[in-house]
Structure 1
């Protein structure tokens, strides 16, 4: 006589595992969407704050002093290179840097690059040793305006920050800053 094999228990267990995996993927997707929505709202607040600038110094003050709180990051620096001069501005003020450092980095970044790091980019200045996740955002200008870079950093390492996924809002922030710099120059 033949033996009857019951596949029902195995099929139900497989189905339950698949449903659990789909539910976990949905939770992850929802968390990502909420996180991205919060980031976009923060960038909108930062853009509105910058739009109120009354001059280049005021714009740089807003970006370096107010944006860290608005964007939820620990450090913001702006670097510009024009001709034979390079400057970087952060919460500690304005410092001169070699213009080739700024121009070279601006050329290497296409839009925005987000990455986890063991040490932040040198454009963060003294805060570089504390940075564990950073976003490098190119400030596009047409000559004779300066080449530039906006750098955002945080102390906490960020999961899945590598690459350019989700960089569009950061590119928008960089474009707005570039237009502001051009306006006041």
Structure 2
């Protein structure tokens, strides 16, 4: 009959009007975009401003871009500050190794590391620890301590929360919140450790590079191996 409504063919789905659905949803939820300002970065602004609501829409998009720009500037400033910090640490490490080169014996090298390196490196305490008699005059450690602190033969550990402070730093233990540990590869083959401690909990952390610690440990191992 001519008055009958057209029937949908079974299995043939009608195409949804997505634009109409989106528009209906936004009309029903007028605060949707205001609660999700990051979406403005993906939207195209209207070509012309007609009325207060469109002006607000464009202002929101501009504000989202300003926020993004501020975030990028903050990230850039952080990177620059990090680079300056690394450069300062490299200069400190070079001065510490130059001072160590003046040592004429292992005993003098140990004195320079323990007494001079804290100031030169901007730390609170630097200690040389050894198991047995691997390094004469070093702070003694119980057998197996280094393997426990540096498991699986690891050469380094940068720790934001130090442990074993009494064993590693003795009377200066209370000054250490974070530290860097480096295994010393001695010509004698003994087990020894360079421990660098700071009262700042964030001075050392696992994400940091270990190149400077490696450099200092290598220089210390050579100097402490002298006769």
**What TM-score does the superposition give when structure 1 sets the normalisation length?**
0.81
Aligned: 1:125 with 2:175:
no
**What TM-score does the superposition give when structure 2 sets the normalisation length?**
0.68
Deviations 1:58-116 (A, max 9, x none): 000000000011001111110123xxx25788xxx754432332454355562322222
User: Structure 2 stretches of 5 or more lacking a match?
Assistant: 1-49
RMSD: 2.6
Q: Is the 8 A contact 1:120 1:153 kept in 2?
A: no
* Residue-pair matches, total: 175
Match of 1:145 among 189, 194, 200: 189
Aligned: 1:74 with 2:124:
yes
Q: Indicate the structure with greater strand content.
A: 1
User: Structure 1 stretches of 5 or more lacking a match?
Assistant: none
Q: Which has the higher contact order (CA 8 A, sep 6+)?
A: 1
1:125 Cα deviation (Å)?
A: 1.3
Is the alpha carbon distance of 1:164 and 1:14 closer, same or farther for their aligned partners in structure 2, counting shifts above 3 Å?
A: closer
Is the alpha carbon distance of 1:176 and 1:77 closer, same or farther for their aligned partners in structure 2, counting shifts above 3 Å?
A: same
Partner of 1:156: 200
Q: Is the 8 A contact 1:109 1:137 kept in 2?
A: no
Partner of 1:169: 212
Partner of 2:11: none
